[in-house]
Amino acid sequence: MKIPFRNILIVSLLGLLIAAAQIGAVGSDIVYTYGEVVVHRRSSILPAEIGMPVGQGDVIETGGEAMAVISLRDGAEIKLRENTTLSLDSLGRRISVHLSTGGVFSRVNKQVISGFSVKTETAVMGVRGTEFFVAYGRTIDRYPDIWVCVNTGSVEVAIFGTQDTLIVEEGKGINIVGGTNLTSAQRYPWTRKLNWNMDPVAGEVIDRTDLEQAYSDLLDQDYD
Amino acid sequence: MNTRVLLISAVVAVVSTFSAAANHIPTAPAVVAEFAGRSTLLIDLGRFDPLVEVEGRLEDTNHEFRYRGLTAGAYLRLHKNFKAGAFYRIQQGARHDDDWIEPTAGVWKWVDSRDRAEQVLILDVSPRFLFDFLPGQNWVFTVKNRYLYNIYNSQHTLMVRPGLSYFLIRNREPLFTFSLNYGFYIPLNFGETFFYEHEPYLSVLYHLNRNVKLELTGAYKTVTWSTSEDSWANWDTYTVNYRAFVVGFGVLFPVTF
């Protein structure tokens, strides 16, 4: 029986689409790990390995003293700090990830990615072409604080509950107090210690910044 | 009769002796208002925090700009609850017990020390504790301990100043700091009293931003003048309390690197 070439082409394309849909997007993989890192995929938990493809729906989790770098479609990179849980919600031309715990550094190439957002429990950080950091801080009120720092470009922060928005410019950061109250963007000295590097060849990639520094140490408030 | 004359003569002699002695004793005015000002640059290098401070005071009843000082040094945070510091100070206009002099017979006055430069070495150890069990939680208890060695007159002084501070926080940053302290100055090798000076004082610090803080203080100080060298030479001894209400202003510039 002769199968028409057109049918073969259609079946092949469908196969490719299904495969692409399964891994979410072509070229998204784990490029570096340190310490205990796992990928939650459907009902299974897989140990993360360098070169392991990741896709839409996957949840990457790092343990204490651990970290991971993920390349998303060659147009964005995400570095997870220790004790971080990140869901890859959407990996199409527009990328959306959800941060449940910990903190992430993001680097986005606007030539490739048309939209990139990091969602948290109470806010969303949307960017086009930038390098920024999002992390949970202390939980003092009902929701935890969220720290956002921008290294290059700018980030639009939107609060779900109040619909308040704010543009955070390059070199500045904000604390979303209690996850809902936007403070004014400013240059926080502690953010200068953040390690933005995601390339192990270029040097240390682990960010060891203690986020407790972001808060005023009352025992260090001494002026005479 | 002879006894009566002798008694009267003795009383007159004693009274005249006391009157003469009274002239040798510095008189303290009623409580006076004084003003103090300081400006401090504090550099935060992590555990190591250098600082430079200039200060001045308008003192006495005539509000003379007498005391002025420049202090430089650094704190080292040895532990979360413990800082140690070492400082050098050069000052003018400081008044010491021996500055009560008799330059000419029968004329007593305070030395004008405004042109006299004195160098002081200071060591500081200050434990601090978070008193978060108090209502409002943002309380810090500090005991500032300072040893001062004045090279000019070789005087050793120990300052102990317990204090309690409350930080009013807005958006996770201090907005105001209210402090109540009590400073005690213990002379280690001079004076005739246990405390040379003591003062309760209240301060309010407004955190304008991370790099500018404005300070307003009010202190009620008591300084005890003990017998000066010239008075000893006249066989007089005394302790006199000088009291002043001191209003202070400060502008502080903390810089973090």
Q: What is the pLDDT of residue B235?
A: 82
Q: What is the pLDDT of residue B46?
A: 84
Q: Report residue B3's pLDDT band, with 50, 70 and 90 as the boundaries.
A: low
- Could you report the per-residue pLDDT of A31-40, keeping only the tens digit for each? 999 999 999 9
Q: What is the pLDDT of residue A213?
A: 86
Segment B12-31 mean pLDDT: 62
Cα first-last separation, chain B: 89
Does the distance separating the beta carbons of A189 and B257 come in below 8 Å?
yes
The structural domains of chain A, with segments of one domain joined by +, span 27-202
By three-state DSSP, how is residue B137 classified? coil
Element (H, E) at B253: strand B239-256
Query: ipTM value of the model?
Result: 0.80
Does the distance separating the beta carbons of B172 and A145 come in below 8 Å?
yes
Q: What is the CA B42 to chain-centroid distance, rounded? A: 21
Does the distance separating the beta carbons of B77 and A189 come in below 8 Å?
no
Segment A52-64 mean pLDDT: 95
Question: Torsions phi, psi of A162, nearest 5?
Answer: -105, -10
Segment A170-199 mean pLDDT: 91
Q: What is the pLDDT of residue A21?
A: 44
Provide the token pair at B131: 């008193």
* Residue of chain B with shortest Cα separation from A140: B172
| Residue B169 reports pLDDT greater than 90 | yes
| Residue B18 reports pLDDT greater than 50 | no
Element (H, E) at B2: helix B2-22
Does the distance separating the beta carbons of A216 and B174 come in below 8 Å?
yes
- Higher-confidence residue: B87 or A94? B87
Q: Report residue B67's pLDDT band, with 50, 70 and 90 as the boundaries.
A: very high
Does the distance separating the beta carbons of B252 and A221 come in below 8 Å?
no
| Residue A122 reports pLDDT greater than 90 | yes
Segment B183-197 mean pLDDT: 95
Q: What is the pTM assigned to this prediction?
A: 0.81
Minimal C-alpha gap between A216 and chain B (Å): 6
- Could you report the per-residue pLDDT of A163-178, keeping only the tens digit for each? 899 999 999 999 999 9
Chain A, chain B: beta-carbon pairs less than 8 Å apart:
52
Domains of chain B: 2-256 (2.40.160)
Q: What is the pLDDT of residue B13?
A: 44
Does the distance separating the beta carbons of A221 and B174 come in below 8 Å?
yes
| Residue A215 reports pLDDT greater than 70 | yes
Helix/strand/coil (H/E/C) assignment for every residue in chain A: CCCCHHHHHHHHHHHHHHHHHHHCCCCCEEEEEECCEEEEECCEEEECCCCCECCCCCEEEECCCCEEEEEECCCEEEEECCCCEEEEEEECCEEEEEEEECEEEEEECCCCCCEEEEECCCEEEEECCCEEEEEECCCCCCCCCEEEEEEECCEEEEECCCCCEEEECCCCEEEEECCCEECCCECCHHHHHCCCCCCCCCCCCCCCCCHHHHCCCHHHCCCC
* Contacts B140 to A, Cβ<8 Å: 218-219, 221
Q: Report residue A7's pLDDT band, with 50, 70 and 90 as the boundaries.
A: low
* Residue of chain B with shortest Cα separation from A184: B171
Strand partners, B73: B51, B87
CATH label, A27-202, candidates 3.10.50.40, 2.60.120.1440, 3.30.450.40, 3.40.50.880: 2.60.120.1440
Q: In whole numbers, what is the pLDDT of chain A averaged over residues?
A: 86
- Higher-confidence residue: B242 or A129? B242
- Could you report the per-residue pLDDT of B98-152, keeping only the tens digit for each? 999 998 888 899 999 999 999 999 999 999 999 999 998 999 999 999 999 999 9
Q: Report residue B11's pLDDT band, with 50, 70 and 90 as the boundaries.
A: very low
Q: Find the chain B residues whose C-beta atoms sit closer than 8 A to any C-beta of A.
A: 40, 42, 44, 53, 75, 77, 80-81, 83, 126, 128-130, 138, 140, 142, 144, 165, 167, 169, 171-174, 177, 205, 210, 213, 215, 250, 252, 254, 256-257
Q: Report residue B234's pLDDT band, with 50, 70 and 90 as the boundaries.
A: confident
| Residue A19 reports pLDDT greater than 50 | no
Q: Residue B233, class by beta-carbon neighbours within 10 Å (0-12 exposed, 13-18 middle, 19+ buried)?
A: exposed
Segment B16-20 mean pLDDT: 45
* Contacts B80 to A, Cβ<8 Å: 219
Query: What number of other Cβ atoms are within 10 A of residue B208's Cβ?
Result: 12
